[in-house]
Amino acid sequence: MSYSKNKGLEIKGVTVEYPGGQCALGHIDLCLPEHSIYTVIGPSGCGKSTLLRSIAGLICSYTGDILFNGLSLREQGTALIGLVPQNYGLLPWKTVQSNIRMAMKISDSGRQTKQQQEQQIINWLAAMGIAELAQRYPLSLSGGQQQRVALARAFAILPEIMLLDEPFSALDAITREEIQTLFLENWISHPTTALFVTHDVEEAILLGEKIVIMSSNKEESPVIMDNPVFHITHEDKRDSDEFFQQSKRIRKVMQEKW
Ligand SMILES: Nc1ncnc2c1ncn2[C@@H]1O[C@H](COP(=O)(O)OP(=O)(O)OP(=O)(O)O)[C@@H](O)[C@H]1O
Ligand SMILES: [Mg+2]
């Protein structure tokens, strides 16, 4: 990959409390070099979605700092962020095509002509294998199809940071494997700085350059694990000895931290 890895995304001592003082996210320090992809796993309620929502600017009341290439993300417009939320975040009254078009309009700021945008929409829907769904409304789609639309939309805006909150959770095992491959291929050709939350240990190993393992105890810092499996050819990953060893290492940490 010919991209330089700048400072990227820096999460410095971030904690989140909801009104009433309930701690939603303990103290997090994490650095994600530009154009890298880290996966995040952790028990339900440990604050994974809260972390993504804070980076995306949907929660502003966090303490600490979140920077991208040295600039605070608290300032509007510091970086273009694509979020695939846990519930897909599609507008039900807009067609699939219009959902993507709208996100592009908001984020594009005149970089592409209308015609180029329309072509991009077609390309991304095709890349996700859902070209025929362009005119449909989200509520007429299966959960898995909605997840693909949300992914197409996130890629289509060519974000500098991509945040994915369990984007493949509604997919059956076979479709999930297909779309993991598709996602990785697209990410390799458009390598944004990405944080990918998943419940699935296997998925965390298949997709992350590093794996962030959060703890149920919010006082404890996450464990950040190198992942030698990432650099193996994708179709060989599952059968590799490294994969097996990595699963064992992660399960050991989970037994201690969850
Ligand atoms: N709007 C809210 N008001 C108060 N507490 C909240 C709110 N949203 C989330 N929380 C709490 O913050 C904590 C972290 O929630 P979060 O959704 O980030 O967890 P998560 O790790 O994403 O869980 P899951 O794996 O189930 O998606 C939980 O204890 C949750 O109950
Ligand atoms: Mg969540």
pLDDT of residue 171: 83
Angle of CA points 143, 18, 106, to nearest 5°: 50
pLDDT of residue 21: 84
Q: How many CA atoms lie within 13 A of 129 on its CB side?
A: 13
Q: Which residues neighbour 235 within 8 Å (Cβ) at sequence distance 6 or greater?
A: 181
CB burial of 13-42 (b: ≥16 within 10 Å; e: otherwise) equals ebbbeeeeeeebbbbbebebbbbbbbbbbb
| Three-state DSSP state, 215 | coil
pLDDT tens per residue, range 36-77:
999 999 999 999 999 999 999 999 999 999 999 999 999 877
Q: Is the pLDDT of residue 1 over 70?
A: no
Q: Give the C-alpha distances (Å, rounded to integers) separating 82 from 151, 163, 189, 194.
A: 9, 6, 16, 9
pLDDT tens per residue, range 20-41:
888 999 999 999 999 999 999 9
pLDDT tens per residue, range 120-169:
999 999 988 899 999 999 999 998 899 999 999 999 988 999 999 999 98
Pocket of ligand 1 (CB under 6 A): 18, 22, 24, 42, 44-50, 86
Please say whether the structural domain 1-79+160-170+191-258 has been given the CATH code 3.40.50.300. yes
State how far the Cα of 193 lies from the Cα of 98, in Å rounded to an integer: 26
pLDDT of residue 78: 84
Which of 14, 17, 22, 213 most suits a substitution to test ligand 1, by most atoms within 8 Å of the C-beta?
A: 22
Which of 14, 49, 164 most suits a substitution to test ligand 1, by most atoms within 8 Å of the C-beta?
A: 49
pLDDT tens per residue, range 207-248:
999 999 999 998 899 999 999 999 999 999 999 999 999 999
State how far the Cα of 121 lies from the Cα of 181, in Å rounded to an integer: 20
Q: Where are the domains of the chain?
A: 1-79+160-170+191-258, 87-159
Q: Which residues neighbour 88 within 8 Å (Cβ) at sequence distance 6 or greater?
A: 138, 143, 146, 147, 149, 150
Cα-to-centroid distance, 231 and ligand 1 (Å): 33
For tokens 């219009």, the residue is 98
Tokens in use for 42?
A: 């952790």
Cβ-contact 70, 7 below 8 angstroms: yes
Q: Average of pLDDT values for 168-195?
A: 90
pLDDT tens per residue, range 75-94:
877 899 999 998 899 999 99
Length of the chain: 258
pLDDT of residue 172: 86
DSSP summary character for residue 26: E
pLDDT of residue 5: 52
